[in-house]
Amino acid sequence: SDVCSSDLITDRFKNTLVLATEVKKVYCDELTGESHHTVVEDISKGMKEAIIENVRLFSREFTNLESAKKKHLLSSNKIDDAILTVDKELFKLVHNFELLNFVNPINLAQEKKKFFKSEFRYNPEFKYRPIVVNPWEMKRKLSALPTEEIKDVNIRKLYEDVIYSYFDKIDMLSTLGTSKFLYNSLRYFGEPDQADINNAYFLMYCQEGQEEHKNEVPTFTSEDTAKYIQDHVLNSYDFDCKVEIKNKITSKALVLNSKQMVVIKKGEMFTEREVQSLAHHEVGVHMVTTMNSINSKLKIFNMGLPKNTLTQEGLAVLAEYLSGTLTIERLQELALRVLCIKYLIKGHDFSSAYRRLLHKFDLDPDFAWYVTARVYRGGGFTKDYLYLQGFKEILKLRETEPDFNNLLIGKTSFEYLETINEMIDRKFIEAPRNITLPYINPVQSSDVLNYIISCIR
């Protein structure tokens, strides 16, 4: 107060003081619970920003120090011991918690045979691996982590949000294969809105560009694909990883973060373009973010930020696009997933949703099964609509965000990018060691595909 006169106090600081006054009034109304926590949290973050802005203002007005970045205004780059403690204990609790490991049916092939034998009238009864986690004990242990001891409000919020997100994942796991699973999935992943539905229909009725890849023949077996991906890892990135072939997965390929492994579905056939696309999607983003996070001082980005699927799948589809391997057919596959989720939420059973997709869009029966099984596994797994929405959001962010590649530090969410940038600036974590190859050397796609993508709203 001796140095900064009232006319130098920024508007943000004034607004924060006003907010603090409002909270005093709210306390008089006995504010409790989550709303209480949220308001106090907002004040804490507002005060941090206000203090930083005023220090920046003071250094500019009264000193010759250059302080363009927060790292010059905040405390030293020594990580708070409380952060290290919470990070270590949280990682110990959840590092083997892989939802995809449990949500893939173990009797997929048998149920597919029954379904096709019934002429698409039978509703599959999927079975799953035994759950080896005690949901209630895990929640209790997560709740006991001393996040309140973390001094920095933004980083404390980051850890608390991750813990809350694991509560939702635990609820999904504990209701796997039941009617309650869908509601837990909706709570965590959300559902497609009308804009998502409109985008999906727009893509499904696009005729332009479909002939370009029509004559490509699937010549790569799952074994060929595994070898290609292993070679791609060795030739493109500063890490090695396992690649295995398994038959009990719904996807054609996936990355198991906890095992640092790429899994290819046994018996699948791929075109050369599909294999290249798969390599950029699974390795270039999902495995890159896994390995970057493994090498980080803090493991929170290996565990995954809340709802990171939107950002991670958006980044992965962007990698396909910038590598020149994205096609209109691939976009239509993502659109079909959105529409299948719409049928699921509207109450259609498996066979009804399958037949709607099959006849409305004249699909190959095996492909229609693949799309429907992905969505209906677990009891209703709604995450698949996030691929298209994430791609749309990531495209916009890449045009405006100079630190865009920092999202590759791990399983991140773009809404936390400012906090991630701050943590990198303060050397709490290192910048991403590996960058997705097509992000560095993008390939120009066709004018038709560029136009179609520009029309996604």
Tell me the pLDDT tens digit for each residue of 275-314: 999 999 999 999 999 999 998 999 999 999 998 999 999 9
pLDDT tier for residue 329 given thresholds of 50, 70 and 90: very high
Query: What pLDDT, on the 0 to 100 scale, is given for residue 174?
Result: 92
pLDDT tier for residue 207 given thresholds of 50, 70 and 90: confident
pLDDT tier for residue 96 given thresholds of 50, 70 and 90: confident
Query: What pLDDT, on the 0 to 100 scale, is given for residue 206?
Result: 87
Query: What pLDDT, on the 0 to 100 scale, is given for residue 3?
Result: 46
Mean pLDDT check: name the lowest of 44-48, 246-250, 323-327: 44-48
Average pLDDT over residues 183-206: 96
% of the chain residues with pLDDT over 70: 82
Answer yes or no: is pLDDT of 71 > 60: no
Query: What pLDDT, on the 0 to 100 scale, is given for residue 2?
Result: 43
Question: Which tens digits make up the pLDDT trace of 364-399?
Answer: 999 999 999 999 999 999 999 999 999 999 999 999
pLDDT tier for residue 100 given thresholds of 50, 70 and 90: confident
**Which has more pLDDT, 46 or 162?**
162
Mean pLDDT, the chain, whole residue set: 88
pLDDT tier for residue 47 given thresholds of 50, 70 and 90: low
Query: What pLDDT, on the 0 to 100 scale, is given for residue 165?
Result: 95
pLDDT tier for residue 185 given thresholds of 50, 70 and 90: very high
Query: What pLDDT, on the 0 to 100 scale, is given for residue 328?
Result: 94
Average pLDDT over residues 435-456: 94
CA-wise closest residue to 275 among 322, 328, 219, 321: 219
Average pLDDT over residues 186-206: 95
**pTM beyond 0.75:** yes
